[in-house]
Amino acid sequence: MTPFDYDYLRKLLKDRSGLVLSDDKQYLIESRLLPLARKAGIGGIGELVQKMKSGPDSLIVDVVEAMTTNETFFFRDKIPFEHFKTTIMPELLRERASRRSLRIWCAASSTGQEPYSLAMMLKEMSAEIAGWRIEIVATDLSQEVLEKSKAGIYSQFEVQRGLPIQLLVRYFKQIGDMWQVNPDVRAMVQFRQLNLLNDFSHLGMFDVIFCRNVLIYFDQETKIAIFNRLLRVHEASGYLLLGAAETVVGLTDAYRPCPDRRGLYVPNATRASPSLVPGMGSVKAAASLVR
């Protein structure tokens, strides 16, 4: 791969997906794109770049998807899901009691483990949310991973990573050496293709936004723009969850951290419409994740 090829790929990836690659990430390009090139009968990265410049846009789409598909697993990092159970749901069930509805958005949902983890948690809270309308919208740039998500079929290795055995037995069906999420759990999640660089106001307003482990790949200007646009689709008394290596501090005043709750943020009252800011009221213990 020549420096010119690498520069072309870096610019294309930033323009199409927001992904920013530093000068020393050639190995990442090769590890992600060489298998794609071989599958397409292309000799190497240089030839792949030439075909991208003159060939169909579908090849560029395949390259962007290969570079932006990231690893995930059920109940990844645990802490955000503890926040969801012990802080977010008790607070919002109290604050939204008059309308009895909630909307949750999993941005950059990858192969679906995050939204299905939330769906299973809601199943475990069935008594508390009886009569409520709760939507989970999951979006990702990659159509390929969205198709995997919709099918809800995972390998033994994938279900062993982070998924409690009780939930596996309760909410999955074994198909050969694979496991499929039960239809009622799959039906709880709406999967849609979305590029976070584009407008997403058409998705509507959300009470809870999970935007984890994706902003770390963007430059500062792109992060700020996304935070500002997230705020416009976020209920004033809602919650934002970021990845362990992500923060709003030093970037934007659109959100502020929740004290003593790592990775949890709320819309800034000075930027959002006047409303009760969550996290200040009494927080009751939520239903146990695993009964």
Model pLDDT for residues 244-279, shown as the tens digit of each residue: 899 999 999 999 999 989 999 999 976 654 333 344
Distant-in-sequence, close-in-space partners of 197: CB < 8 Å, separation ≥ 6: 17, 18, 222
Cα distances (angstroms) measured from residue 220 to each of 25, 185, 249: 19, 37, 12
Task: Give me the sign of the Cα torsion angle 117, 120, 124, 128.
Answer: positive
Share of the chain above pLDDT 70, in %: 92
In the prediction, which pLDDT does 283 show? 31
* Range of weakest confidence among 42-51, 89-98, 157-166: 42-51
Q: Is the pLDDT of residue 2 over 80?
A: yes
Maximum CA extent, the chain: 62
Residues 283 and 86 sit within 8 Å (Cβ to Cβ): yes
Residue 88 CA to residue 263 CA, distance in Å, equals 13
Q: Is the pLDDT of residue 183 over 70?
A: yes
CB neighbourhood size of 215 (10 A): 22
Provide the mean pLDDT of the chain. 88
E strand segments, the chain? 101-106, 133-140, 153-155, 172-175, 178-181, 189-193, 206-211, 234-242, 255-257, 264-267
In the prediction, which pLDDT does 119 show? 98
Of 34, 12, 40, 10, give the one whose Cα is nearest residue 23.
10
Surface-to-core class of residue 175, CB atoms within 10 Å of its CB (0-12 exposed, 13-18 middle, 19+ buried): exposed
Of 250, 205, 254, give the one whose Cα is nearest residue 226.
254
Q: Give the tens place of pLDDT for each residue, 111-151.
A: 999 999 999 999 999 999 999 999 999 999 988 899 999 99
* Range of weakest confidence among 37-41, 79-83, 195-199: 37-41
Q: Give the tens place of pLDDT for each residue, 201-237.
A: 999 999 999 999 999 889 999 999 999 999 999 999 9
In the prediction, which pLDDT does 281 show? 38
Strand 178-181 with 255-257, pairing: unpaired
The type of residue at 279 is G
**What are residue 203's phi and psi, to 5 degrees?**
-75, -20
In the prediction, which pLDDT does 55 show? 72
| Fold that domain 79-267 belongs to in CATH | Rossmann fold (3.40.50)
In the prediction, which pLDDT does 106 show? 98
Cα distances (angstroms) measured from residue 171 to each of 74, 111, 117, 123, 165: 13, 17, 10, 9, 10
For 3-68, give the CATH class.
Answer: mainly alpha
Q: Is the pLDDT of residue 69 over 70?
A: no
Higher local confidence (pLDDT), 234 or 67 = 234
Residue 230 CA to residue 235 CA, distance in Å, equals 10
Domain ranges of the chain: 3-68, 79-267
Q: Is the pLDDT of residue 287 over 50?
A: no
Mean pLDDT for the stretch of residues 103-118: 96
